[in-house]
Structure 1
């Protein structure tokens, strides 16, 4: 059975934020940005809300019809000055999310520094699946839905894997490691991955 997918709108904001907050509570990068379970539980949702607002305004959020999984995408033009969290915006992100937490700003700057700028591409910023539904292929279906568009339009795609166990999933979808890792200071590693468009896929 196929997975029903639609584009989220402003009316989906609250449910998308809740989904991302739940899906990333145990993510190693979230744990680095917000160390301590209680601190993360009470603060992490603010970062997910900031990300959701940015993508609702500037990109596209794909969500499964049952609301149990979503993917946040941005179209990045060639020669853009970094990713969606450009270093110039990092301080404002910190101020909006958690002014006392320097790591909010630090990770935004680091990700912007690593983001490729030489070619236009689609950026998979985040993909979240509610914990009870993980392992059912919802994430793969969401990503492939967008990659079919990339293949039709001849667009590459980019992401940062935040856990090593997710790398094989993305490799099955055509992504390859860039050869660089983003090592957070005294924290976990992220794996930038790139995908060239495939010809002969999707509708002509």
Structure 2
């Protein structure tokens, strides 16, 4: 049985924030950003809301028709190429923009928490910039529906387009367990981990487009 998928709009914002908040409450990276459980329960949703707003404005969010899972994607241009912030003026201004974005994220989400800014900086610094690609920022499945194949269906929905258009895809897996799902979808480990200071690690993964598919 296929999984119905649609593009989210502004009216889906609260649904997406709730799905991400529930899915990532016990995620190792979220636990590092917000170490105290009760504080995380009260504050974590603000970070998910900030991520949702960025992707609603600049990318694409897919949700399952039954509203139990969502995936957040950004189309990333090659450094210096055509596209958002791709003016070709050299890396310095892009690094400054990333730093400014990290500061703004902390100030909007949890001003006294330096780890909000730190995670944004680390992810920006490790992001591949030499080729245009689709970036799977986050995927969230309601806890009661995990293990039903919804996440894989959401990812494959975009990977099919990547294959048609010859685009690679990139993500950072936040647990070693989740790397297994992504490996089944054609992603491979990008040869280095992203190690959070005194915290967990993330696994950057890259997928080349598959040519010759029958679509």
Q: TM-score, normalised by structure 1?
A: 0.96
- CA separation in 1, counterparts of 2:106 and 2:32? 15
Task: Quote the residue 1:176 is aligned against.
Answer: 188
Measured in 1, the distance between the counterparts of 2:15 and 2:70 equals 10
Residue 155 of structure 2 corresponds to which residue in structure 1? 143
Q: Residue 125 of structure 1 is aligned with which of 106, 131, 137?
A: 137
Deviations 1:112-165 (CA, angstroms, capped at 9, x unpaired): 000000000000000000000000000000000000010000000000000000
Match of 1:165 in 2: 177
Q: After TM superposition, where is structure 1 displaced by more than 6 Å over at least 4 residues in a row?
A: none
Inter-partner Cα distance in structure 1 for 2:4 and 2:153: 9
Cα deviation 1:60-80 (Å, max 9, x = unaligned): 000000110000000000005
Unaligned runs of 5+ in 2: 80-85
Give the deviation of 1:202 after TM superposition.
Answer: 5.2
Distance 2:196 2:116 in 1: 12
Provide the rounded CA distance (Å) in 2 between the counterparts of 1:193 and 1:76: 15
Matching of residues 1-204 of structure 1 within 5 Å: 1-79=1-79, 86-201=98-213, 203=215
- Residue of structure 1 in register with 2:82 after alignment: none
> Is the Cα contact below 8 Å between 1:149 and 1:202 reproduced in 2?
no
Q: Name the SS for the 2:53 alignment partner.
A: helix
* Cα distance between partner residues in 2 of 1:127 and 1:77: 21
Distance 2:213 2:4 in 1: 20
Q: Which runs of 5+ in 1 are unaligned?
A: none
SS at match of 1:86: helix
Q: Supply the distance in 1 between the matched residues of 2:188 and 2:182 (Cα, whole angstroms).
A: 8
TM-score by length of 2: 0.92
Shift of 1:201: 2.2
Structure 1 position 87, deviation (Å): 2.7
SS class of match (1:66):
coil
In 2, are the aligned partners of 1:25 and 1:41 still within 8 Å (CA)? yes
Q: How many residues align?
A: 202
Structure 2 CA distance for partners of 1:15 and 1:202, relative to 1, 3 Å: farther
CA RMSD of aligned residues (A): 1.4
